[in-house]
């Protein structure tokens, strides 16, 4: 279970007593996610999510994440809303960790991706980008190109443990991306991690977006590239062109593309694949002691990276610009 910090009953009751959400009835660790400790807390007033921030989440970034969720919720995006305690603050400390409570969203994330899911997530992502345009805070993407170089240097000496020759292939890709990465594309708030387990559906409609703890300020089209890699490939590693087209069309209905965004998408998709290859590789080689969570296979994204190398324009994703 992806819970790194246990919360004793008396500590939980004292923490919840700071809020106007009633007495705790139950608390259960959530066995998904690998970054933070999450708990489903049921009180007299309903269900809430308690998060203790661990690992990659820097405390200095938390006001950005909390403020972004408040802003998006106020602008019509279905996302968790931070709950403020009686003193007016949403961010606190629990068990020596930064902690916050957010509202609970009904729905389930799709275990088997259907084409209609891709249409919905494309439209939802575009809606997030439009709502985020008026958000006043910024945060640099520490998992963009500069961060990829640092991750590679931390992993390269042991990369052969995962696959022989992996370090050389990743190094060559990183050099190319560093040289050719776009410099001037439409920029704004992005989610940066909108995988299927971060999108809830009810029936056939998106009911909520969660887990904003990689959100940052970066190219909007990079967020779309992340979704291409997360939603549009089949288990055998092949791109489902129908899913890719529906994702892009769903997005375009809400926010039209700039021509430069479409031209850059194949390279952005390569960069996105490299980003998740490197973070998964790091996690694979550096499993935290005591965490009962299986790290994900980095080679899934090596296959996706190789696929994107062969795409020269947006038509390769089934999209008619």
pLDDT the model gives residue 291: 54
Q: Are 171 and 236 members of one domain?
A: yes
Assigned domain for 3 exists: no
Assigned domain for 204 exists: yes
Tens of pLDDT along 159-216? 999 999 999 999 999 999 999 999 999 999 999 999 999 999 999 999 999 999 999 9
Domain boundary among 103, 126, 147: 103
Tens of pLDDT along 105-159? 999 999 999 999 999 999 999 999 999 999 999 999 999 999 999 999 999 999 9
Tens of pLDDT along 230-280? 999 999 999 999 999 999 999 999 999 999 999 999 999 999 999 999 999
pLDDT the model gives residue 159: 96
Tens of pLDDT along 288-307? 665 556 778 999 999 999 99
Q: How confident is the model at residue 31 (pLDDT cuts 50, 70, 90)?
A: confident
Within 8 A by CB and 6+ apart from 179, the residues are none
Assigned domain for 108 exists: no
Rounded CA-CA distance 145/151 in Å is 10
Specify the number of domains making up the chain.
2
What single string gives the DSSP state of each residue in 204-261?
TEEEEE---TT-EEEEHHHHHHHHHHHHSB-TTS-B-HHHHHHHHHHHHHHSPPPHHH
Domain boundary among 70, 103, 136: 103
Rounded CA-CA distance 15/12 in Å is 5
Q: Are 137 and 187 members of one domain?
A: yes
pLDDT the model gives residue 1: 38
Q: Are 91 and 160 members of one domain?
A: no
pLDDT more than 70, % of the chain? 96
Query: Whole-structure pTM over 0.85, yes or no?
Result: yes
Rounded CA-CA distance 115/131 in Å is 25
Q: Report yes or no: 137 and 148 within 8 Å, Cβ to Cβ.
A: no
CA angle 12, 68, 18 (to 5 degrees): 25
CATH code of the domain containing 289: 3.90.1200.10
Q: Are 43 and 156 members of one domain?
A: no
């Amino acid at each position: 279970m992806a819970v790194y910090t246990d919360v004793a009953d008396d500590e939980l009751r004292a923490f919840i007593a700071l809020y106007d959400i009633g007495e705790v009835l139950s608390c259960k660790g959530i066995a998904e996610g690998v970054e933070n400790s999450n708990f489903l807390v049921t009180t007299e007033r309903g269900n809430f999510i308690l998060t203790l921030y661990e690992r990659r989440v820097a405390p200095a970034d938390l006001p950005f994440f909390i403020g972004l969720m408040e802003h998006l919720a106020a602008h019509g995006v279905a996302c968790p809303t931070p709950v403020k305690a009686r003193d007016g603050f949403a961010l606190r400390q629990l068990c020596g960790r930064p902690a916050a409570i957010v509202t609970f969203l009904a729905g389930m994330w799709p275990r088997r991706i259907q084409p209609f899911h891709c249409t919905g997530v494309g439209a939802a992502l575009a809606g997030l980008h439009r709502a985020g345009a008026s958000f006043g805070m910024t945060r640099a993407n520490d998992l963009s190109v500069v961060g990829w170089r640092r991750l590679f240097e931390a992993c390269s000496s042991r990369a052969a443990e995962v696959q022989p020759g992996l370090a050389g292939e990743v190094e060559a890709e990183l050099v190319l991306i560093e040289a050719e990465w776009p410099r001037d594309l439409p920029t704004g708030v992005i989610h940066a991690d909108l995988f299927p387990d971060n999108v809830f559906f009810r029936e056939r409609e998106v009911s909520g977006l969660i887990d904003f703890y990689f959100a940052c300020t970066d190219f909007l089209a990079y967020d779309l590239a992340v979704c291409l890699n997360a939603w549009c490939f089949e288990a055998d590693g092949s791109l489902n062109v129908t899913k890719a087209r529906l994702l892009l069309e769903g997005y375009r209905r809400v926010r039209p593309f700039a021509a430069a965004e479409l031209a850059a998408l194949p390279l952005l998709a390569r960069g996105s694949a490299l980003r998740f290859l490197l973070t998964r590789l790091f996690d694979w080689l550096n499993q935290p002691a005591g965490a009962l969570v299986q790290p994900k296979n980095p080679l899934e994204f090596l296959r996706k990276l190789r696929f994107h190398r062969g795409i020269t324009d947006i038509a390769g994703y089934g999209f008619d610009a």
